[in-house]
């Protein structure tokens, strides 16, 4: 796996350690993007004294951090997440907060060991990256003892036979039971570029800080209102899908969120400074945006930090059902249906929040909702998962009527299985044709087969990629409208609307029975065009009131925290110039326009090849890849079908959602 990526990196003169061409190629795993066999990378020698000294130092630093956190708790220098505020809304505690703290504490020890070894030996970046493969470090007896406390290294017992997916995504692959599971490492296409080789956010090659994310968000992502030829539902389904497969939690204290402004109080602060000439924040008197770093995954190995995905990587509607057995049990009733609440018109809506002290939303007589994705379900009215809840209960009621002998567990699991399949069907039959385009869908045979089955490949790792979750899939932010349309069924010509900026974490419209109006508005109004620009409400709308906070600067800061995107840009720029130089030498009669366009054509083909031969097998997983026959043909070409219409289907707009 990743042969094309590795070759491209070497071609562009980016130093990496690749698998030898004479060695058998391994399939990708979450922590084996590039096997290290170069002597410089794999033969670093550390004595027992080196490793034991590093462990002792790591324990000292971990204990010191515990003292810092205890001091923060005693002096109440944390953000109280029971009080509604802009900063707290970005720090809504996970239902698994204590488990995440345990993961972070375990991994922090291995990070500090790595940092000490790197600094003590003045290791290069390539040498630092190879620590996770170093046999002396990995096999040391004390390292092995520490690793025994890591849950990620404990075996998972899978049922012998099961018709249904596990809530946490485990056991999808019986050989690698953790692949795609919740609370596992996010995979990477490229190695990280941390400033210290372990976890410190990257800096410029000169050693200076990177450009201020707030300045970038205002300068580059400034608003442009350009209507597109697809509906606003495209944006909303994309966000819904994202919340099904990806959630990177931030570091939390025991009693609240980490306070980084006006000055950092914790090593995981990554605050965004605000310059005095900031036209928006200047009138609010703010000089800092609170931003906290992500929780590392529990790899329990030396080397660079990887991030954690709190959700399963599969399209399984985990944002509806939760990502653990406890989550699921708390969302269903005894009849196999999902729990419900009622709006003022008597229609079913999501049940009331059971975490009203920390949901950053509930007020007296205005309680918010709970769902499988509790931390994000209340972000704005169009995101609420009422539609999927109603669909589950509709399916469950029908199954119960058709199969009166089924118990509630069978009814629930069969309904959940159908809802997950519908999510996959909509994704590959409705969403991807618009995002990728008909030519790409046809060329790579991405689509829904009318008949037949595909073969499951146990060698494919479906884990979410950092490049995907932190950068690529955030394209949807550019197609958001600042005003959401509402359309009545009885008088569709009479439309109303509401400002997005006024409805973050506001449940009123759902309680008033406006969900159906909002859904009609999503399919009745165009979204904005795919571009680098972002609506003003996403730049400043969430900061325009005391309880609002903009997040586009957070996107930029997150990319710096999970570095790789700039490397990819540089990689493709170099590859284009290399191809162009070769073409110019081979074809001296070509003018500059011909050279540019031919190079662009080749680069586009390489991007498509890597996407469907390397990227999608990880993102989609083996079952989906096999079932929908997604892959690259070794020979031959495919025929473009001009009769294929990528428009939204009626089943999607009027029923499925």
SS3 362: coil
- The answer to whether residues 371 and 331 touch, using CB atoms and an 8 Å cutoff, is yes
Q: DSSP string of 414-470? A: HHHHHHHHHHHHHIIIIIHHHHH-HHHHHHTT-S--SS------TT---PPBHHHHH
Distance CA 269, CA 633 (A): 47
Q: DSSP string of 45-97? A: ---HHHHHHHHHHHHHHHHHHHHHHHHHHHHT-SB-TTS--HHHHTSPPPTTH
Euclidean distance between the first and the last CA atom of the chain, given in angstroms as a whole number: 36
Does residue 25 have a cis peptide bond before it, meaning omega lies within 30 degrees of 0? no
- Phi and psi at residue 338, in whole multiples of 5°? -85, 145
Distance CA 95, CA 79 (A): 17
Ramachandran quadrant class, 150 (left: phi over 0; alpha: psi -120 to 50; beta: rest): beta
Q: Provide the CB-side half-sphere exposure for 392 (13 A, CA).
A: 34
The structure tokens listed for 27 are: 């399939």
**If residue 528 lies in a helix (H) or strand (E), which one and from where to where?**
strand 526-528
Residues 6+ apart with CB under 8 A from 273: 212, 214, 287, 288
Dihedral sign, Cα of residue 538, residue 353, residue 245, residue 650: negative
Of the residues 133, 140, 243, 380, only one is catalytic, namely 243
Strand partners, 339: none
Q: Is 477 annotated as a binding residue?
A: yes
- Chain centroid offset of residue 575 CA: 27
Dihedral sign, Cα of residue 173, residue 175, residue 180, residue 181: positive
CA distances from 371 to 107, 323, 349, 562 (A): 29, 11, 11, 28
Q: Which residues of 548-563 are buried (b: 16+ CB within 10 A; e: fewer)?
A: bbbbbbbbbbbbbbbb
Of 71, 144, 132, 151, the closest CA to residue 302 belongs to: 132
Asked about 243 being catalytic, the answer comes back as yes
Strands 308-309 vs 341-342: parallel, antiparallel or unpaired: unpaired
- Residue 43's CB is within 10 A of a number of other CB atoms, namely 13
Residues 6+ apart with CB under 8 A from 592: none
- Phi and psi at residue 301, in whole multiples of 5°? -130, 160
Distance CA 572, CA 575 (A): 5
The structure tokens listed for 45 are: 């020698």
Binding residues for heme b: 477
Binding residues: 477
* Residues labelled catalytic: 243
């Amino acid at each position: 796996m990743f042969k094309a990526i590795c070759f491209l990196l070497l071609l562009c003169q980016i130093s990496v350690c690749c698998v030898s061409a004479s060695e058998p190629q391994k399939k990708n795993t979450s922590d084996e993007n590039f096997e290290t066999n170069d002597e410089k990378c794999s033969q670093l020698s550390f004595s027992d004294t080196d490793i034991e000294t590093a462990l002792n130092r790591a324990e000292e630093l971990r204990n010191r951090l515990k003292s810092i956190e205890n001091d923060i708790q005693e002096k109440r220098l944390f953000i109280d997440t029971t009080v509604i505020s802009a900063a707290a809304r970005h720090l809504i505690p996970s239902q698994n907060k204590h488990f995440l703290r345990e993961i972070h504490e375990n991994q922090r020890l291995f990070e500090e060991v790595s940092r000490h070894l790197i600094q003590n030996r003045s290791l290069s970046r390539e040498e630092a990256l190879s620590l996770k493969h170093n046999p002396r470090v990995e096999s040391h007896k004390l390292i092995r003892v520490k690793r025994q406390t890591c849950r990620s290294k404990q075996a998972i017992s899978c049922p012998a036979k099961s018709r249904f997916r596990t809530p946490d995504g485990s056991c999808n692959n019986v050989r690698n039971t953790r692949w795609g599971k919740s609370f596992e490492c996010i995979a990477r296409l490229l190695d990280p570029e941390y400033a210290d080789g372990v976890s410190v956010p990257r800096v410029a090659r000169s050693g200076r800080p990177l450009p201020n994310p707030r300045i970038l968000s205002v300068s580059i992502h400034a608003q442009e209102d350009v209507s597109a030829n697809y509906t606003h539902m495209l944006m909303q389904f994309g966000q819904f899908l994202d919340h099904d497969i990806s959630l990177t939690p931030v570091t939390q204290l025991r009693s609240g969120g980490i306070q980084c402004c006006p000055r950092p109080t914790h090593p995981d602060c990554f605050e965004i400074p605000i310059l005095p000439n900031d036209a928006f924040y200047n009138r609010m008197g703010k000089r800092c945006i609170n931003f906290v770093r992500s929780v590392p995954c529990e790899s329990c190995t030396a080397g660079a930090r990887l991030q954690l995905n709190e959700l399963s990587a599969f399209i399984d509607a985990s944002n509806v059902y939760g990502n653990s057995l406890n989550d699921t049990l708390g969302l269903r009733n005894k009849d196999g249906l999902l729990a419900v609440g009622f709006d003022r018109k008597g229609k079913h809506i999501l049940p009331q929040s059971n975490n009203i002290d920390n949901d950053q939303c509930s007020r007296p007589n205005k309680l918010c909702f709970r769902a499988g994705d509790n931390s994000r379900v209340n972000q704005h009215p169009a995101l609420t998962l009422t539609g999927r809840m109603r669909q589950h209960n509709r399916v469950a009621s029908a199954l119960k009527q058709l199969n009166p002998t089924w118990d509630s567990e069978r009814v629930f699991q069969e309904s959940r299985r159908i809802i997950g399949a519908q999510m996959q069907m909509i994704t590959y039959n409705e969403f991807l044709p618009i995002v990728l385009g008909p030519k790409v869908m046809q060329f790579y045979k991405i689509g829904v087969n009318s008949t037949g089955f595909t073969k499951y490949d146990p060698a494919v790792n479906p884990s979410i990629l950092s490049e995907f979750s932190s950068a690529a899939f955030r394209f949807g932010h550019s197609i958001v409208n600042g005003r959401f349309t509402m359309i009545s069924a009885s008088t569709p010509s009479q439309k109303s609307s509401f400002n997005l900026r006024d409805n973050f974490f506001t449940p009123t419209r759902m309680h008033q029975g406006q969900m159906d109006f909002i859904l009609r508005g999503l399919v009745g109004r165009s979204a904005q065009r795919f571009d680098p620009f972002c609506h003003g409400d996403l730049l400043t709308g969430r900061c325009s009131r005391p309880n609002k906070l903009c997040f586009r600067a957070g996107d930029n800061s997150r990319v710096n925290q999970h570095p790789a995107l700039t490397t990819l840009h540089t990689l493709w720029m170099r590859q284009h110039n290399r191809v162009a130089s070769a073409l110019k030498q081979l074809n001296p009669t070509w003018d500059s326009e011909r050279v540019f366009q031919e190079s662009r054509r080749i680069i586009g083909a390489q991007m498509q090849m890597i996407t469907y031969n390397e990227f999608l097998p990880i993102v989609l997983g083996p079952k989906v890849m096999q079932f929908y026959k997604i892959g690259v043909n070794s020979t031959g070409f495919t025929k473009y079908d001009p009769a294929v219409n990528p428009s939204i289907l009626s089943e999607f707009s009027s029923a499925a959602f």
